[in-house]
Structure 1
Amino acid sequence: MQEIRERTYKPVDAWWTVLLVDPLASRLVRLVAPYRWITPNILTLVASIFGFGAAACFAVGERWYLVAGGILFHISFVVDCMDGKIARLNGTGTMFGQWLDFVLDRVRVFIIALCLFGGQYARTDDVAYLWLMSVAIFLDLFRYLNSAQMTKVRKSMKDQLTAYLEPVRVQAEPAAAMAEPVDEMPEPAPAPTGGGSLKNRIGATLRRNRIRTHLISGIEYEMTVFIIGPITGLIFPVTIAIGAGLLAFEAFLIFKLFRACQQFPAKLAAAQAAYEEFEAGRDEDQRVPSTV
């Protein structure tokens, strides 16, 4: 189990995954890992089967079918998490498997949303469930598309800065190592004192337990809508509440991206200046003095 945790757990993950999925998924991975015919793609398909079973239960719309659907959706998510763990543990991941996993995830969520809210509409004849279905599907797609685009923008900025700063860093590190006295040991880092702001302490506690500080993302949103809502029978208020929370977190991330983009031109100019200074110094060092 320790090997599975070390090789398959992400450094930080969604709190739902860390607390409610990984403990079960890692034990199931231990059982199935020796069977090499159980590939990540097979697990992706099995996860989809459980997901479509959840959709069928949601379509009925009755109380205990909703509970069964919520349980099946959670099982679907556990199996879906297993495919990535098996891929990392056995080295059997493929590019096609990544595509298949992403596409089936989106198709599964779309069909489940149609069945959950459509089933409630068929049972109550309340058109508000159709509007809620549209909002739920939109927010789920928006979260994943927005996350991918923000990652792309941040990576682009980082790559541009790295292109200028990496040569400077590589050149500076050997020089610093040569200048450091070899008979002196580095001073130990100061022990944590437990100080700092409440926000920093909470963030450190979450990261220490592998929980990312982004507490409402696509995973938490889907689990709340398709598990907590149906099991409690409070589909409408739960979906509204988690949707508002998701929008608040996304707005905060968009604001942070906006600030980063505002600061990027100045950072890029500073990186260019550092690189030009580095190049000028290197050209000076490489000049051969003339002799008489």
Structure 2
Amino acid sequence: MTSFTLADVRERTYKRRDAWWTVFLVDPLAARLVVWTANRTSVTPNQITAGAGVLGAGSAVCFALGTWPWLVAGALLFHLSFVLDCMDGKIARLKGTGSVFGSWVDFVFDRIRFFGCMLALLIGQWALTGDVLFLLLAPVVTFLDLLRYLNGAQVGKTRQTMRTRLRAAAEGRAQPAEEDPENTETEARSEAGAEQRGEQAPDAGTDDAGAPVVFVEEVLRENPALDHEQAHARSAESGARVIDVHQGFTRKFGWYGRLRSTLLRSRVRPHLFSGIEFEMFVCVVAPLTALASAAVPGADLVVPVVVLSCAALAAFEALIVYKLWLATRDFAAEMSRLGAG
């Protein structure tokens, strides 16, 4: 009989950096449930995923009913569904029972659960109040959620392309031909998946003289506790050829490194309003504000919270694009330097 401990769960399944909602409001409960489930049951990750789907369906039904007690129940069910959703990956990593198809199921169920619950919430409130603003918010929330996925994939693909071309230039190789978008996107997603699972990024290449080619962003990913200057120093001490395409961002926002280091001490990633927070604010925080309307009639805060969530997600996505734009300028400068050298 297996005997996993809480320390095992933390060491083997926790991501080195994660959304603050997950770190503070999900992992403390999910980790303890994982210990009990792994030690006392033979439940598989796919079965846990199915359980999360059932709770998500229950949440959608509660939201559709519309009145404040049902909204509160729906919010709690949605949060518990997310706890189960975090458990399936932890069980898979802890027991080595994950599968490629299971990853697909987990992703698809996540999207179905969010869209189903979000639409049930907004349509249910429209049916209850007659306020057409709820209907207008539905396509906005849908658009932003889809945008973040498209933007994330494209940003990852662009960064992968820059690294590939810079590595070729540093090693004195011919520049690669126009890359197959599907292959590049697959590499980017594979790298992003490795980061989420807590694995190390691929080893740095070496140039013709034998000196390793190191990207500062990869060093920071492998060592979240380091700041930008420490990552530079560590790479230089090893005799590596250091390439940094985030110098422009670091110069403009010197405080970012300090904030990043502070957050990462608690495993919290600097992207403070990611897709996870977006979903939780729409499907947990917003319906929970029904408690306020129950206490003070007319104090409907569902719309303001959803609007604020949309604005926060859009702002952070814009920040990601701005950081990428600065990186492309550093990329061009590095390519010129490597070409001249």
Do they superpose with TM above 0.5? yes
Letter in 1 for 2:45: P
* Shift in alpha-carbon separation, 1:82–1:273, aligned structure 2, 3 A: farther
Q: 1:48 aligns with which of 33, 38, 53?
A: 53
* CA displacement 1:123-179 (0-9 Å, x = unmatched): 111111100111111111111221122112212222332344422288136xxxxxx
| Structure 1 counterpart of 2:331 | 264
Structure 1 position 261, deviation (Å): 2.1
**Alpha-carbon distance change, 129 to 210 in structure 1, aligned in 2, over 3 angstroms:** same
Number of the residue aligned with 2:111: 106
What is residue 39 of structure 1 aligned with on the other side?
44
Q: Does 1:76 align with 2:97?
A: no
- 2:210 aligns with 171
2:286 pairs with one of 204, 229, 247: 229
Q: CA deviation at 1:40?
A: 1.4
User: d(CA) in 2 for partners of 1:131 and 1:170?
Assistant: 60
The one of 190, 200, 203 equivalent to 2:257 is 200
User: What does 1:211-226 correspond to in 2, within 5 Å?
Assistant: 211-226=268-283
Shift of 1:94: 1.1
For the aligned residues, what is the CA RMSD?
2.0
- Residues of 2 paired with 1:121 and 1:36: CA distance? 43
In structure 2, how many angstroms separate the alpha carbons of the residues matched to 1:11 and 1:169?
33
Q: For 2:206, what is the secondary structure of its paired residue?
A: helix
When Rg is computed on C-alpha atoms for both structures, the one with the higher figure is 1
Within 5 Å, give how 1:65-144 maps onto structure 2.
65-144=70-149
Q: Flag the 1:169–1:61 CA change in 2: closer, same or farther, 3 A.
A: farther
1:253 corresponds to which of 315, 320, 326: 320
**Alignment partners' CA distance in 2, 1:30 and 1:15:** 22
SS in 1 for 2:123: helix
The residue identity in structure 2 corresponding to 1:88 is R
Partner Cα distance (2:132, 2:141) in 1:
14
The CA distance in 2 between the partners of 1:76 and 1:117, in whole Å, is 19
How far residue 38 of structure 1 moved from its aligned partner, in angstroms, is 1.4
Return closer, same or farther for 1:210/1:170 CA change in 2, 3 Å cut-off.
farther
Residues matched between the structures, number: 253
Shift of 1:220: 0.5
Task: Give me the whole-angstrom Cα distance separating, in 1, the residues matched to 2:40 and 2:153.
Answer: 34
Residue 214 of structure 1 deviates from its aligned partner by 0.6
Alignment of 1:3-42 (within 5 A): 3-34=8-39, 37-42=42-47
Cα drift, residue 58 of structure 1: 0.1
Distance in structure 2 (CA, Å) of the matches to 1:226 and 1:136:
11
| One-letter amino acid of the counterpart of residue 47, structure 1 | A
The question of 1:241 aligning with 2:308 is answered: yes
Distance 1:120 1:254 in 2: 34
> Partner amino acid for 2:104?
W
Measure, in 2, the Cα distance between the counterparts of 1:93 and 1:76: 19
Tell me the CA shift for residue 198 of structure 1: 4.8
Higher helix share: 1
| 1:252 Cα deviation after fit | 0.9
Alpha-carbon displacement from aligned partner over 1:35-67 (angstroms, at most 9, x marks no partner): 573121111111111111100000000001000
Structure 1 distance, partners of 2:313, 2:326, is 20
Q: Which has the higher contact order (CA 8 A, sep 6+)?
A: 1
Deviates more, 1:99-108 or 1:22-31: 99-108
| Percent identical residues | 50
Shift of 1:86: 0.9
Distance across 2 between alignment mates of 1:147 and 1:124: 36
Equivalent residue of 1:168, what SS? coil
Distance 1:265 1:199, change over 3 A: closer
The aligned amino acid for 1:82 is M
